[in-house]
Every structure is written in structure tokens, then in C-alpha cells.
Chains A and B, each alone.
Chain A
Amino acid sequence: MTTGTAHTLTTQGLTVGYGGEPVIRDLDLELPTRGITMLVGANGCGKSTLLRTLARLQRPQAGTVLLDGRPIDRRAPREVARIIGLLPQAPIAPDGITVGELADRGRTPHRGWFGRRSTRDDEVVADALLVTGMTEFVDRPVDELSGGQRQRAWVAMALAQEPDILLLDEPTTYLDLAHQVELLELLVRLTLDRGTQVVVVIHELNLATRYADHLIAMKSGRIVAQGRPGDIVTPELVRAVFGLNAVVIPDPISNGPLIVPGRAANAPSTTAVPEALGGR
């Protein structure tokens, strides 16, 4: 509906952990102010932790997250929530809540003291439901929907929040391939139509390389490489980040890099694997 304002979201010397070894170490990062940024890396590499810290759900042990140059934890949470929205991994909707009500909760940070809503509030929610294609489900309970529809209902809630920066933690998990593509195309449209800055943690590498404007590869809490997927995705990078031998060929549809997995680099060599896949 409105075109978002560009915000800078950066980290300085960020160290985050849950007691014990830090998950993220001394990280300096400046997120692009437009397009889709995707965070990839092996399980436990700290990408979800980074996302949660950016949304101030996780307090850093050292360093700061700066939003437009100001430390994020010194700003009022409601104020930050009008700029940054986060959709956590596999959120659970309360029993019986309808799609319309769930989307409506997205207006929370814009709510006045007495909870009065304006016509604009309703139209923003309506818009969120339209964009996500959830209009026909408005009065249906979320827990009766399929996985793909449910995820779209949550995205509708996040959109009703009208964040300029939208962070999503593994939004494609539990979705079949068609719904994964559908969701990512929805995110692309958001960046184009509204200028929303989207940051996604994702496991599906080939979807990441196809839909990311900016790809960040992480390992052990550090950034191994970042840039346009076409510029950085190589077999060496895949091996360094995931410990996987792979072949990178041009994606026949997008012409970007397409990763064809071979065998795991540290797998026991009991079976013969074609040389092209990294076997011998």
C-alpha cells in the first residue's frame, strides 16, 4: 500500500550466545537496504540466532545492533516493531483463532492506548489478506488450514504490522516445493511493490540462489561470503559452508547458479560415486 522507507540495519562487533561458547562471534554486518537478503549455512551456524538478535529477541553478549545508526535496544519496542517485523520459525496459533483475527493482531504496535482502530487499520489488514491470497479464509480457524495456508496467514499478520524490514526464520520449512516457490514469489513482490527489505533464513539452497538479491553464507557464527548469488556461489563455497561436494551449473530458468549436490565431503567412502559428484 505504502512504499516503505529504507532503513539501515547493521551490527557492530556482535557476539551472541546462550551461555557457554558464543554462537556468533564479533560480527560486523551491514544489510542491504533493498531487495531480499537470504542467510544460508549448516544447522547451528548461527543464522537463526543472528535473525533473532536483529529483531532484538535475543540480547547480544557484546556489540550492538544499530537501526538507522541508533542502538536498537535503546529504542522503545513498539517503535522498533513498527519498523522491523519478525516471523519466527513454525509459530503456533492459539486454538480457534481465525485468519482475520490473527492478521488483525499485526496492528498491535500501531494501536492507541484504548485500542481504537481506524478505517486505515482495517484496510491495511485487508491489504495483507489480499496480498497473501487469504481473503476466502478470513473467518476460518487457523488450525484448520493446510501448512501452506497457515504460513500465509502468519505472513498476513506480519504484513499487517507494516514493517519496512521483514525478517523470516525458515518460512519454507514444512512447505511442499510449490508452496515454497509461491511464498518466495510473494516476498519478491513485497520488495518490488512496497520496497520492503526482506531478510530470510532458509535451508533450500537452490531457492536461496534463485530468489536472493543478496546471499550471506555463514559458518560457525561467522560470515564466509556474501554478495549476489551469481558472484559468490561456487563448488568451493558449498564445500566450505556445508561440507558438501557439489557441482554448480547455470539454472536453466533463471540463469543463476544451480547447486547439484554430490556426496558429503566427510562421508565414509564405502560406495563408489561418479567422479563428477566428487567421488573417485
Chain B
Amino acid sequence: MTAVREALGADLRTVRVRRRRRDAVVLSVLALAVGCLGALALMFGARFTPPADVLDVLLGRPVPGASFAVGELRLPRTIGAILAGAAFGLGGTIFQTVLRNVLASPDVIGINSGASAAAIIALGVFGASGPVVAGSAIAGALLTAALVWFLAYQGGLSGIRFALVGIAVGAALQAIIGFVLTRSNVTQAQQAVVWMTGSLSRSLWDQLQPLAPVLAVLLLVALIAGRDLPVLRLGDDVAASLGVRVRRLKLVLILCAVVLVATATAVTGPIAFVAFLSGPIAMRITRHGQAVPAVAALIGAVIVLGADLIGQQLLSTAMPVGVVTGVLGAPYLLWLLMTGRTRA
């Protein structure tokens, strides 16, 4: 018996080490992809900037004709894309895992609509701009999350109830957005529509400076708290009997996720489907490993960076990033619904 046990133990260890190595490879490849896409985003814009010049700008040396385009436009845009993408990816995965339903992603359950509604009201009714709009978006997302939570929580969290309540709340918010848009003048409506589509064009230093540190810290906290996500996926009772403080963990995770998504939305507007897509993709390529949260964050960054490059460079007219992710994401949502694979 002992020999058999040791042999099997060694087998299990081999499988686990192999899996861990696989996770490390996946993480490295994704990090590399983020790096490459980021470099491309810095090089390509209205005009091409050679890598050497980009490097000079990054090192703080003045480069005539590139300092402004790279340093003031493309760099904050790229950082914004990476941070917002990671925030959407990680936030979405947290929602889907904690609520045990793929559909319970923040963009499906109305959190994004909440941010939009608040931002549109700030833009359209009060004529606000910049930080006020960003602040309103964060407040709107938090309020919506609290409202959905309050309406859907009945002695416990049920993913499907959350999704349904969220969709209903989202529909009501869309109605508010529609109402405000019809009442605002053409310029404001134009601004508002671009905002709602999700665009990185607002990702400039003055927008990014106050929000980037918040995103960075939250990403870190969520990744650390997310270590127990794989255990949480076994269900509340099993997780609790394995010594996880389920209630507290869920609260911390959801709070982190809401603020992550809210803050990212304030930077870029609600980019469609990034939160929804990243988790399931991460799940698929890591085969449910411990690395899912980190992988989802990186996938989010890759999607946003990639979609922005496509929208800016590959299409004949420049498109906001949200249009591209929407076109990519909608078929996937339909496929999920048609094949019934909604359990996270």
C-alpha cells in the first residue's frame, strides 16, 4: 500500500508541476502579448514612429515630432487600455465566479449601464466634463451595484437571480439614458454616444493620473484575494468547510470588482463584453487552474489593446474600441446562450 501510495503521490506531483509550468507559460506569453501590443500602440498612430524614437520618448529624451504624439497621446492611451482591460477582465471573472454564473458579469447585469447613465446625466444635463464625469460614472456604477445587490440578495447570492435583476435594472437605466439623450443638444448627445460606446480617446494624463493608482492597487488586492476563487468555485458550503471565510471573502471580492469596473469605466466608458469574455477564455486556456484571475486580467488587457489597434489602424475609418469588442463579443454570448454553458 505504501509503495502504491508513494507512486501515485509522485504521479500527482508530476501532473501538478506540469500544470503549474503550463500556467507560468500562459502567463508569460500573455504578458509578452501585452508588451508587444503596447509597443505597437506606441509606434502606430496618425503617423508611424520608429521604435528607437519611442524608446527615446519613454526614457524622457525630447524627440522632435514624436514627444507629443507618443508621450502625451499614445502612452496614456496605452496605459489606460492595459489598466482598464485588466480591470474589466479581473472584475468580470470575480463576478462570474462569486455568483457562479457566466451571465452575472458586470456588463450584463447593468453595472456598466449605471456608470453610463450617471455619466450621461453629468454630460447632458449638467454640462460637466472631465473629472466630474469620471466621478459620476464611478458613483453610478457603485449605486447600481448596491441596488442590484439589494434587490437580488435573499439570504444568499444566486447567480441567475442576480443576472435577471441586473438585466432588468440595466434596461431601466437604458431608458433613462435614452430620455436624457433626446433632451440634450446635438453636441452633448454626440459626446455622450462616444462615451457610451467605450473609447480610449479620453485616456489622457489628466484623466489617468488620479485613477491609475486606484486601479493598480485594486488589481493587486483583487489578485491576492482571488487566490481562493478556485476553492469558492466548489460552492459556498464546501469552501466554508475547507476553512475559507466565505461571506467576508465574497464581500471583499465583489467590492473590489465593482470599484475596479467602475473606475475602469470612468477612464474608458463601458467597453462592451471585455468583462464578460475574459473569464471564460481564461478558464478555457488554463483548464481551471489557480492562475485564472491573473490570466483573465491579462486577457482583458490584450482584448482592449488589440481591439483599439484594430479600431484605429486596420479599419478604414477609426472606430472606438467598444465597437470592435462588441462585434467580437456578441456572437460569443449567443453561442453561450445557445449551448447552455452558463455555469461558471
Contact = CB atoms under 8 A, between A and B. Distances in A.
Given A94-B233, A101-B288, A130-B8, A122 B16 contact: yes
Interface in B225-266: 227, 230-231, 233-235, 237-238, 240-245
A39 B240 CA distance: 22
B12 interface: yes
A81 B242 contact: yes
Interface in A103-122: 104-106, 108-109, 115, 117, 119, 122
Given A94-B288, A105-B230, A81 B241 contact: yes
B241 A86 contact: yes
B242 A115 contact: no
Contacts of A85: 241
B102 to A, nearest CB: 10
Contact of A109 (B10, B233, B243): B243
Contact of A105 (B10, B11, B15, B231): B231
Contact of A161 (B13, B242, B288, B343): B242
A109 B242 contact: yes
B243 A77 contact: yes
B1 interface: yes
B52 interface: no
A82 B243 CA distance: 8
B5 interface: yes
B160 to A, nearest CB: 14
B243 A108 contact: yes
A157 B233 CA distance: 14
Interface in A142-168: 157, 161
Interface in A66-105: 76-82, 84-88, 91-97, 100-102, 104-105
A96 B12 contact: no
Nearest to B14: A122
A119 B6 CA distance: 9
B155 interface: yes
Nearest to A102: B234
Contacts of B9: 119, 122-123, 125-126
A135 B238 contact: no
B334 interface: no
Interface in B285-341: 287-288, 290, 341
B46 interface: no
A115 B8 CA distance: 21
A223 interface: no
B242 A108 contact: yes
A52 B237 CA distance: 9
A238 interface: no
Contacts of A87: 238, 241
A174 interface: no
B37 to A, nearest CB: 29
A127 B241 contact: no
B4 interface: yes
A6 interface: no
B8 A126 contact: yes
> What does DSSP make chain B's interface, helix, strand, loop or mixed?
helix
B202 to A, nearest CB: 38
Interface string B1-43: 1001110111111011000000000000000000000000000
Nearest to A108: B242
Nearest to A56: B240
Nearest to A143: B343
B237 A88 contact: yes
Contacts of A192: none
A77 B249 CA distance: 13
Contacts of B11: 126, 138
B16 A117 contact: yes
B289 to A, nearest CB: 9
B83 to A, nearest CB: 26
Contacts of B341: 95
A14 to B, nearest CB: 18
A91 B344 CA distance: 15
Contacts of A138: 8, 11-12, 15
Nearest to A77: B243
A102 B242 CA distance: 12
Nearest to A122: B9
A115 B243 contact: no
B243 A123 contact: no
B287 to A, nearest CB: 7
A42 interface: no
A251 interface: no
A126 B12 contact: yes
Given A56-B240, A109-B243, 12 more contacts: A18-B155, A57-B237, A81-B242, A82-B243, A88-B238, A95-B343, A104-B12, A104-B16, A108-B242, A122-B12, A122-B16, A138-B12
Interface of A: 1, 18, 52, 55-57, 76-82, 84-88, 91-97, 100-102, 104-106, 108-109, 115, 117, 119, 122-123, 125-127, 129-130, 135, 138-139, 157, 161
10 contacts: A77-B240, A85-B241, A88-B238, A105-B234, A108-B242, A108-B243, A123-B5, A125-B12, A126-B11, A135-B8
Interface pairs A-B: 5 shortest CB-CB: A81-B243, A126-B8, A78-B243, A109-B243, A123-B9
